[in-house]
Chains A and B, each alone.
Chain A
Amino acid sequence: MGNEANSQLTIALAGNPNAGKTTLFNALTGLKQKIANYPGVTVERKEGAWTVNGETANLVDIPGLYSLDATSLDEQIARDVITGNQAGLPKPDVIVAVVDATNLERNLYLVTQLFEFGIPVVIALTMIDVFEDQKHKIDIEMLAVLLKTPVVAVNVKSGRGIDELAAKVAEVKGTTPVVPYVYDEAGDEAGPHGKIFSRYNFISSVVQDSVWHSDQSSHRISDKIDKVLTHKFFGLVILVAILLVVFQTIFSWASLPMDLLEQGFGAAADLVRSQMPPGILTDLIADGIIAGVGGVVVFLPQILLLFLFISLLEDSGYMSRAAFLLDKLMSRVGLHGKAFLPLISSFACAIPGIMATRTIESRRDRFATIMIAPFMSCSARLPVYTLMIGAFFGGQYVFGFISVGALLMLIMYAIGIAVAVVAAFVLKRTILKAPPPPFLMELPPYRLPNLRTVFQNMLTRAWLFLKRAGTVILAISIILWALMYFPRSSQQSVVSSQQTEAAKSVPGAVATGDVVDEPRATNNEPLPESEQLKNSFAGRLGHVIEPVIEPLGFDWKIGVALIASFAAREVLVSTLSIIYNVGKDENEESETLIAAVRDAKTDDGRPAWTPLTALTLMVFFVLAMQCMSTIAVVRRETNSWSWPIFMTVYMTVLAYIAAFITYQGGKLLGYG
């Protein structure tokens, strides 16, 4: 932005949440939107081009808010935008205030504040059709006279008022607004909140003179729905049922596109290998960039679906009911009712879960929720649990009918939840200490979601995920790959020249046909991968951390897999595959990898794994922060490096302690 921006008309779009602001914004700007964050904060900055009188104006969407008194982050930003104190944004020429006709009084409160900034205001009256369907009447001309500013009834679906809105904006541009009410600082209304009082008094008189209510309650339909959905008993049952359906759908619908994406990235890596000469660059692209970025992008279908459901639940008005139902439970651990959904989402993946915390207004509450979200056992932990259970606890039962595997799985989920509850409790009483946030939440009337808004929201989230998380992930992938690739061991060149062409593309080429069931540890001719790994920086690091992880029962090879798994949890499985020379392409259910884990020996010949080691590893994985995508997202959402670093450290320390207790306790009890 530069001089150009100064000649361009800037229009701010302000309004209460649920007033139909997003729908109007989409209708006015179409797809010509750009979304970014305001510098230094995670409040979204949405701008779009709107044609006013043949001129292209820049329409700035201000976050939905109830008041401009700058008590919350959104309000602070909104104030900065309106006063022209927001960097990169000129002071708006006109404010379009979105006002919900069915909720006129409270919506007008924000408008009375907007008048005080000296910028002309045009009121866009939404939901007018709903209001009139309920046999209420509103005198729009009278409303405009009383408010001393233009009022235009708009309906996005029928296109009513859209052109008139633009015409009125052009008309008032450059004029000075009149504040239609007087606040007498020495009068009867004076006091700490006197101004609020006098604004509402003014609004009451305006509404009295311009609106005729019929007996028909505007809340009748919503009340009927709420009789069931917020019922003391059925409300909770239905909430659980909705969540079950949502998550079942996310898992089942996403699995096919996720498989396809995975195969696509596999094919891309193969293509690179077949088309490019073997060498560092080929390895970097195939094993570093494609594998690393691909491993994250495969979660895209889950994220799209989760945000589809979140948008639907939010737009329909159900989300605030869920928060209403669960606030009491959540407040016991010091969290807000709105923290519930992000936490539940985190069972699928912490990334969309953390992104979903944006609905929590209080910064401290939001951060507390972000800090505990990764304790929920996400889908990336499943491959690890499955491998460990398959190798050491498969086919075992307690009491003859309860599968040990299922029981362990349940225990892992329970450990995660229990630690999350304790962590939230502690965080909310220490570093995130704050007076209990006011739980003042509007329960908007139920409405059919606007599909366009829903899809636009879904695509926006997906794009932000790909763009932002992608750049950081790319960088970390390359670093991790390099750690396992360098320095090249000296045998490498000898082995390469002896092997077939396929084996030249090291590492990761052992999966070509002759996979051996038993580990090759005793083989005279060590395969390049294991040698390479041992001498690589990652392998040396494995040796370095061996003393640290020895009390947990892990040897250096498990250490290497652990280090690699800090990129993403499921990487443990593929790294173990390389380490035990089974082949990189074996998945966690393969008998060969399970057999290899069972038969693996430490350097001094003892079995590397026992059931106790496996259990310890699982406990470690429940609690440790091993996901660079999550770290990247936390960095973005908290807008600082200190939170993701703190998160990684405290989670991993907890994981170490829990794993230590598990292993040493198990040994004391005579297991292992």
Chain B
Amino acid sequence: MKRKISETTKNTLNDLPSGIDGRVTAVNGGGPVVRRLMEMGVVPGVDVQVVKAAPFGDPIEVRVRGYSLAMRRSEADSIEVSF
């Protein structure tokens, strides 16, 4: 499924180029952040797109389930995607 050469490192949302469709494969880690991410609709199997990054490169705007969600790079790191 993956088109990336490096099979060992998994792609996170931070690796997804903006404007390209990706699919969430896993949401890693525990704690309230992951829970909140999933409650906001970022669950495995959902399609995501990175719209843009804020002026200083962080946070990023993500399109998921038809709406825009802003999150920091650190949060995007816990979202594994395939594209």
A439 with B43: CB separation less than 8 A: no
Q: Is the CB of A71 within 8 A of B68?
A: no
Shortest beta-carbon distance, B5 to chain A, in Å?
30
Q: With A and B bound together, what is the CA distance between A233 and B71 in angstroms?
A: 20
The answer on a CB contact under 8 Å between B43 and A200 is yes
Cβ B59 vs Cβ A438 within 8 A: no
Whole-angstrom distance from the CB of B27 to the nearest CB of chain A? 8
Residues on A with C-beta less than 8 A from B8 are: none
Task: Name the one of A196, A329, A436 contacting B74, with C-beta atoms under 8 angstroms.
Answer: A436
Given A219-B63, A443-B69, A443-B70, does the pair A324, B35 have CB atoms closer than 8 Å? no
Determine the interface band of chain A, counting residues with CB < 8 A from chain B. 35 or more
Interface locus among A103-111, A384-392, A555-563, A600-608: A103-111
Select the residue from B38, B51, B54 with max chain A CB neighbours within 10 A.
B54
How far does the alpha carbon of A328 sit from the alpha carbon of B75 in the complex, in Å? 14
Please state if A438 and B32 are interface contacts (CB–CB under 8 Å).
Answer: yes
Q: Cβ of A236 and Cβ of B68 under 8 Å apart?
A: no
A67 contacts B by Cβ under 8 Å: yes
Query: Knowing A232-B55, A324-B59 touch, does A439 contact B71 (C-beta < 8 A)?
Result: yes
Please tell me if A419 contacts chain B, counting CB pairs below 8 Å. no
- Report the bound CA distance from A443 to B68 in whole Å: 5
Interface residues of A in 84-105 (CB under 8 A from B): 102-105
Give the secondary structure class of B's interface: mixed
Name A213's closest neighbour in chain B (CB-CB): B66
| B70 and A438 contacting across the interface, CB-CB below 8 Å | no
Specify which chain A residues have a CB less than 8 angstroms from the CB of B44 in the assembled complex. Answer: 197
Q: CA A323 – CA B59 in complex, angstroms?
A: 10
Say if the beta carbon of A410 comes within 8 Å of chain B. Answer: no
| Cβ-defined partner of A438 (8 Å) among B27, B52, B75 | B75
| Residues of chain B lying within 8 A (CB to CB) of residue A324 | 54, 59, 61, 70
Q: Are B67 and A439 in contact (CB under 8 A)?
A: no
> What separation, in Å, do the CA atoms of A105 and B67 have in the docked complex?
9
| A193:B70 contact, CB within 8 angstroms | no
With contact pairs A66-B40, A438-B32, A440-B40 given, residues A236 and B55 touching in the complex (Cβ less than 8 Å)? yes
Q: Which residues of A contact B70 (CB under 8 A)?
A: 320, 323-324, 327, 439-443
Minimum CB–CB distance for A326 against chain B, Å: 8
Q: A193-B34, A329-B56, A439-B75 are in contact. Are A105 and B41 (CB under 8 A)?
A: yes
Task: With A219-B68, A438-B36, A440-B70 as known contacts, state yes or no: A196 contacts B54, CB within 8 Å.
Answer: no
Are the CB atoms of A109 and B39 closer together than 8 Å?
yes
Residue in A109, A218, A438 with the greatest tally of chain B CB atoms within 10 Å? A438
**Does B37 belong to the interface (CB within 8 Å)?**
yes
Q: Say if the beta carbon of A259 comes within 8 Å of chain B.
A: no
- Pull 20 A–B residue pairs with CB atoms less than 8 Å apart, ordered by A: A71-B35, A71-B36, A103-B65, A104-B66, A105-B66, A106-B40, A106-B67, A109-B41, A200-B38, A219-B68, A230-B54, A324-B70, A325-B54, A327-B72, A328-B55, A328-B56, A436-B72, A438-B72, A440-B69, A442-B67
Given contacts A103-B66, A103-B67, A439-B71, 6 further A-B contacts (CB under 8 A): A106-B40, A219-B63, A324-B54, A328-B56, A439-B75, A443-B70
Q: Which A-B residue pairs are the 8 nearest by beta carbons?
A: A328-B56, A443-B68, A105-B65, A67-B39, A438-B33, A196-B38, A439-B72, A441-B70
Binding site for A on B (CB under 8 A): 27, 30, 32-41, 43-44, 46, 51-52, 54-59, 61, 63, 65-72, 74-75
